[in-house]
Amino acid sequence: MTDRPIVVAGAGAIGCFVGGMLAASSRRVALLVRPRVKTEIERFGLRLTDFDGFERRLDAGQLALSQDPSIFHSAGIVLVTVKSADTPAVADQIAQHAPPDAVIVSLQNGVGNVGVLQERLGGRQVLAGMVPFNVIAMGDGRFHRSTSGDIHVGEDAANTAAALSVPGLHLRASPDIAGVQWGKLILNLNNALSALSDMPLAAQLANREWRRLFADQMVEGLAALKAAGIAPVSATPVPASWTPALLRLPDMIFNAILGRTMKIDPEARSSMWQDLKQGRRTEIDYLQGAVIALAEQNNVAVPLMRRIVALIKEAETAGRGPPQLTPRQIRGAA
């Protein structure tokens, strides 16, 4: 498969960074992109940076760029990086244009995308994946990885994870990718708090009141998962069940532990913050919404999570960007 192109379906921030890193290691990479992104890369090239000072530049000619889904026609691997709401549409494009033996890898937020892909792609091989790091689209063709971590992909006989690993972008094969996805989703509950606060992730996590709010939301989420019989696999060295207690620690102790487990760029922002900033629909229904659905099925109360969903939807409707709320305002009547 690796002698055929790797096609990134829906190359936004994550897709451009992952695809760019693969191309930087001489892999054949094609990006299915929106017109704005295509124009930007053709004009400026692709510049990849990260929190450790890494920088790599690629000319537009080192990638195949297209707005036409026929670009899937010779794909060996398709990396799906579209927003969850766009999964059905891109699945139909893959079904129409990609070879039947192409391996499809979902590198998306949430836990339901693989099911949608499998349903619409028949018997094709679909692997779940989890991207632990954030990428910020900085403009002028620059995509900046602002947090650390290795990508996880479900195990398969061909060891697709190893086939996609390149220097600076390590992929791990996971025997419990569903648990890994739920573990990431529980951490992604903070995306909404970051968006509502309008604060960089590092500054927000350095504030104990924000961490207590995150911890209380996590407790609701973990209770819903436990009631559903789901065991989340932590995306960090700290077990998911310990994380709320860790978040509630005094700042000095918490910051010392965080510094040993994760690297965060001072300007790192959540993808949901970026969505509100740019007036786009967020993935709140696929993050908090997925946990709320489990809670409803198992009669678990999640009032804080429901309050956060309502506030994000208010911000989406208002269209004025992140609302700069305080923890007290977010708690409201929750």
Tokens of 202: 């590092």
Q: How many residues does the chain have?
A: 334
Say what the pLDDT of residue 212 is: 97
* φ/ψ (deg, to 5) at 55: -150, 135
Secondary structure of residue 224 in the 3-state scheme: helix
Secondary structure of residue 79 in the 3-state scheme: strand
Query: How far from chain centre, in Å, is Cα 100?
Result: 27
User: What whole-number distance in Å separates Cα of residue 41 and Cα of residue 139?
Assistant: 10
Q: What is the DSSP string of 318-333?
A: HTSS-----HHHHHTT
Question: Alpha carbon of 259 to those of 80, 117, 154, 236, 253: distances in Å?
Answer: 31, 37, 28, 12, 10
Give the CATH fold of the 181-331 domain: N-(1-d-carboxylethyl)-l-norvaline Dehydrogenase; domain 2 (1.10.1040)
CA 284, 281, 145: angle at the middle one, nearest 5?
Answer: 80
Say what the pLDDT of residue 329 is: 97
Q: Which residue has the tokens 């700069």?
A: 324
CATH architecture, domain defined by 6-175: 3-Layer(aba) Sandwich (3.40)
The two domains 6-175 and 181-331 share their CATH topology (first three levels equal):
no
Per-residue pLDDT 10s for the chain (334 aa) are 458 999 999 989 999 999 999 999 999 999 999 999 999 999 999 999 999 899 999 999 999 999 999 999 999 999 999 999 999 999 999 999 999 999 999 999 999 999 999 999 988 999 999 999 999 999 999 999 999 899 999 999 999 999 999 999 999 999 999 999 999 999 999 999 999 999 999 999 999 999 999 999 999 999 999 999 999 998 777 889 999 999 999 998 988 887 677 788 888 999 999 999 999 999 999 999 999 999 999 999 999 999 999 999 999 999 999 999 999 999 996 5
| CA atoms within a 13 Å half-sphere pointing along the CA-CB vector of 200 | 11
Say what the pLDDT of residue 250 is: 94
User: What whole-number distance in Å separates Cα of residue 330 and Cα of residue 197?
Assistant: 9
DSSP E strand boundaries for the chain = 6-9, 29-32, 46-50, 55-58, 64-66, 77-80, 103-106, 126-130, 135-139, 142-145, 151-154, 171-174
Say what the pLDDT of residue 2 is: 55
**How do the domains of the chain map onto residue ranges?**
6-175, 181-331
Say what the pLDDT of residue 235 is: 74
